[in-house]
Amino acid sequence: MNLNTLKPALGEKTNRKRVGRGMGSGMGKTSGRGHKGQKSRSGGFTKIGFEGGQMPLQRRLPKVGFSSRVSIITSQVTLSQLDKLTETDINIDVLKKHNLVTKNILRVKVMLSGEINRAINLVGIKPTKGARAAIEAAKGTISE
């Protein structure tokens, strides 16, 4: 196969329709635009959603906000917050017990903020790269 032998698939390329070239072409006289009206004129098209002056649907309906479902069930804790806890095995239930996260939280991320001076064992909690390095430097373990 060479570049000069490449061809598009059969039926992929079609010839453009030549309009306004006489009645024998099948697209003569009005050139497929019908009779009269705004859409038959050159430059005669309205913007998307225009309803002839009536208040458009997208403006009649109320605006509705957006809240990410992921952010509702995800929370963050810092290394300095974990350092204040007395437990060595830390999971989401321990964080809920100490009111570091709310009861509806399903995922927790440990951020590198502050420092940790003791070995902890994270269970089911994901740390950032920097937090992982700090926990492992303090002889801690991470089991996800």
**Residue 22 falls within a domain, yes or no?**
no
**Residue 99 falls within a domain, yes or no?**
yes
Q: What is the mean pLDDT of the chain?
A: 92
Amino acid identity of residue 88, one-letter, is: T
**Residue 18 falls within a domain, yes or no?**
no
**Residue 111 falls within a domain, yes or no?**
yes
**Residue 41 falls within a domain, yes or no?**
no
**Residue 7 falls within a domain, yes or no?**
no
Q: How many domains is the chain partitioned into structurally?
A: 1
* Model pTM above 0.75: no
Alpha helices for the chain (secondary structure H):
57-60, 69-73, 79-84, 92-97, 129-137
**Residue 52 falls within a domain, yes or no?**
no
**Residue 55 falls within a domain, yes or no?**
no
**CATH classification of the domain holding 138:** 3.100.10.10
Per-residue pLDDT reduced to its tens digit, 48-74: 999 989 999 999 999 998 888 888 889
Percent of the chain with pLDDT over 70: 100
Is beta strand 89-90 parallel, antiparallel or unpaired with respect to 121-123? parallel
Half-sphere exposure of 119 (CA within 13 A, CB side): 3
pLDDT of 9 > 90? The answer is: yes
Residue 44: per-residue pLDDT: 83
Rounded Cα distance between 3 and 21, Å, is 37
Query: What range does the domain containing 116 cover?
Result: 69-143
Percent of the chain with pLDDT over 90: 80
